[in-house]
Amino acid sequence: MSKTSIRKYFLVLFLLFSLQGCGWMVDIIFPLDVDRFLGEQFYKAAVTGEGHGEIYKDKSLEKYLQSIVDRILKSKSIHYKDEFKYKVTIIDDDKVINAICAPGGYIFVYTGLLHFVKNEATLAGILSHEIAHAERRHSTKQLSTNLTLYFALYFVLSYVLGPDLAQHAADIAGLSTNLLGLANSRSMEEEADEYGFDYMRSTPYYPGAIADFFKDIQKEKKVNPELKGTDIPLEKYLSTHPLDEDRISANEKRLKDAKIGAPNAKSYFKERYRSNIEKSLGTKEED
């Protein structure tokens, strides 16, 4: 390989790694159609029961959850409310304490989360957080990172090992992107917390209500210290949402900086929440 070719090779490699570190470039290079396409595929897989659980069909409950989302969408900080779906679908799985907002605004709420959460404001905080993931296009940015690392590693192996062995780059890329994805996930979780808090400020809910969910998770871990493994409901949430004291502290700091005082009990809408959830799902003890 000539010196000129080597220079070009390392220039391409440098540009690839530069691109993967610049999330803002994704907003320029990848159109919103990419998010909509990815979300639609996720939705189709969900409604056919491929790996996401069965759909829980209850129009009354869907309407209630959608009303919470619609209140959040009134925030002027949400820019893609007209481009993305932001439609709620309920997944019938009491073993999963989670909610997901796929690219393009496809929102999925698991019945396990609805049983676990104690009031409407806390659920709104979680949904605001998930909407922020879609608004900040986190899944698309993760995809760009994975693609960048794949091609970068392929180029390296092609140069060092030759094209015949470079085909094994996919396996290495998969391992590398999983490790990098964890770091990116933590950063994105923090960003989603920040933006979700901002969205909540335009609602009638207490903006810091999501902290109650974090605290309830911590209590659950103390009560059940044996909770381990992917078959445990709590673990399924923690595997994608790293929770720690830092996130609770960050939430408290946002409240302090925004000069938001102690919550009013009415801003949690606890009775309305329990009424709607129990009417559609019953109590967890009855299941």
Q: Residue ranges per domain, the chain?
A: 23-280
- Tell me what pLDDT residue 114 has: 97
- Tell me what pLDDT residue 195 has: 97
Q: CA 221 from chain center: how many Å?
A: 21
The pLDDT of 220-238, averaged and rounded, is 55
pLDDT in tens, 15-55: 444 554 555 566 667 789 988 988 898 888 888 876 567 89
Are 209 and 124 in contact, with CB atoms under 8 Å apart?
Answer: yes
Q: pLDDT-based confidence at 154, cuts 50/70/90?
A: low
Selection from 118, 106, 119 nearest residue 47 by Cα:
106
- Give helix 169-200 / helix 120-135 axis angle, nearest 10°: 130
Selection from 205, 138, 145, 132 nearest residue 173 by Cα:
145
- Tell me what pLDDT residue 113 has: 95
Neighbours of 4 (CB within 10 A): 8
The pLDDT of 252-280, averaged and rounded, is 95
Lowest mean per-residue pLDDT among 9-13, 202-206, 251-255: 9-13
- Tell me what pLDDT residue 159 has: 55
* Res. 104: pLDDT tops 80: yes
* Res. 77: pLDDT tops 60: yes
Q: CA 155 from chain center: how many Å?
A: 31
Rounded CA-CA distance 136/191 in Å is: 8
Long-range contacts of 52-59 (CB under 8 A, 24+ apart): 52/91, 52/108, 53/91, 53/92, 53/93, 53/96, 53/110, 54/91, 54/92, 54/93, 55/89, 55/90, 55/91, 55/92, 56/90, 56/91, 56/92, 56/111, 57/90, 58/90, 58/280
* Pairing of the two strands 106-110 and 87-92: parallel
Q: pLDDT-based confidence at 78, cuts 50/70/90?
A: very high
What does the mean pLDDT of the chain come to? 78
- Tell me what pLDDT residue 176 has: 45
Query: Which ranges constitute the DSSP H helices of 161-231?
Result: 163-166, 169-200, 210-223
Lowest mean per-residue pLDDT among 123-127, 135-139, 203-207, 277-281: 135-139
Lowest mean per-residue pLDDT among 44-58, 112-126, 188-202, 268-282: 44-58
* Res. 11: pLDDT tops 50: no
